[in-house]
């Protein structure tokens, strides 16, 4: 069964600083990988996804992520964080096959200091 | 385009009572998902529908949870009787097909069982 690990429960950065959120997955084949963001009281919004091809993927709101097969990682990055980026971020993996089930990590809560 | 609608947004009940949640997916989306998100964790898939048929309900506690999607459009998730550990946010999502398609999430229903 696939699993997703987000090692950092809570990260605090200053506005304007760079950001990297870590994600490691466990899955036998090449996975489909996703990053979602959840603001308080809101549903999840897709930031970006990786299916195949270029291992550096661009998403919305200035986010990008890099797939590294050798490290089983899919880290999310942003060069300059804005106060509005404060939210919870979830990495997810999808297994192909009969039902394409999404498995989420436990999330990383991002706090942005002014 | 209207997003995924859910109601109610908040619900407080006592243990052993019953509760129902409603979800209306994005128009034309054939696949509908119900997730349970316990505080501090990522969403966990409870049940997946393709049109009005169940694709995956392997993590649905069937002794107390039930879900239906009559006519392949909106869906209802019911808990009867509720337990304290059912306190969570219940998220509904939909996608245009079954496979590697983006899932669009509703705002969720926050359930508190006292």
Domain A3-113 belongs in CATH node 3.50.50.60: no
Which chain A residue's Cα is nearest to B101? A100
- A81 has pLDDT over 90: yes
Report chain A residues touching chain B, CB-CB < 8 A. 4, 32, 36, 41-46, 49, 51, 90, 92, 94, 96, 98-107
CA dihedral A59, B30, B110, A95 (to 10 degrees): -60
Per-residue HEC secondary structure of A40-82 comes to CCCCEEEEEEECCCCCEEECHHHCEEEEEHHHCEEEEEECCCC
Q: Number of A to B CB contacts under 8 A, please give it.
A: 52
Contact in structure between A93 and A2 (CB atoms under 8 Å):
yes
List chain A domain ranges: 3-113
Q: Mutating which of A25, A102, A105, A108 best tests the B interface, going by the most B Cβ atoms within 10 A?
A: A102
Q: What is the pLDDT of residue B80?
A: 97
| The two three-digit tokens of residue A29, written as one number | 């084949």
Which chain A residue's Cα is nearest to B56? A99
Q: Which residues of chain B have pLDDT under 50?
A: none
Report the CATH architecture of B17-95.
Sandwich (2.60)
Q: Give B67-98 pLDDT, tens digit per residue.
A: 999 888 999 999 999 999 999 999 999 998 76
Q: Give A46-59 pLDDT, tens digit per residue.
A: 999 998 889 999 99
| Backbone φ, ψ for residue B104 (5° rounding) | -105, 130
Q: Give A12-64 pLDDT, tens digit per residue.
A: 999 999 999 999 998 767 789 999 999 987 889 999 999 888 999 999 999 99
Establish if B55 touches chain A: CB-CB under 8 angstroms.
yes
């Amino acid at each position: 069964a696939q699993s997703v690990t987000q090692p950092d429960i809570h990260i605090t950065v200053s506005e304007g600083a760079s950001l990297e959120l870590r994600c490691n997955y466990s899955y036998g084949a090449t996975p489909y990988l996703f990053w979602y963001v959840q603001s308080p009281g809101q549903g999840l919004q897709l930031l970006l996804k990786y299916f195949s091809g270029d291992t550096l993927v661009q998403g919305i709101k200035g986010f990008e992520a890099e797939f590294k097969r050798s490290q089983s990682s899919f880290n999310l990055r942003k060069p300059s964080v804005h106060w509005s980026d404060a939210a919870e971020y979830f990495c997810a993996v999808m297994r192909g096959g009969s039902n394409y089930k999404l498995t989420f990590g436990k999330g990383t809560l991002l706090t942005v200091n002014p | 385009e209207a997003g995924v609608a859910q109601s109610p947004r908040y619900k407080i009940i006592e243990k052993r009572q019953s509760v129902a949640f409603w979800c209306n997916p994005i128009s034309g989306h054939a696949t509908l998902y119900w997730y349970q998100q316990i505080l501090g964790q990522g969403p966990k898939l409870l049940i997946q529908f393709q049109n009005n048929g169940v694709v995956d309900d392997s993590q649905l506690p069937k002794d107390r949870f039930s879900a239906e999607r009559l006519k392949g459009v909106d869906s209802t998730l019911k808990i009867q009787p509720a337990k304290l550990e059912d306190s969570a946010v219940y998220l509904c999502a939909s996608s245009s097909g079954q496979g590697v398609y983006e899932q669009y999430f509703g705002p969720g229903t926050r359930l508190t069982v006292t």
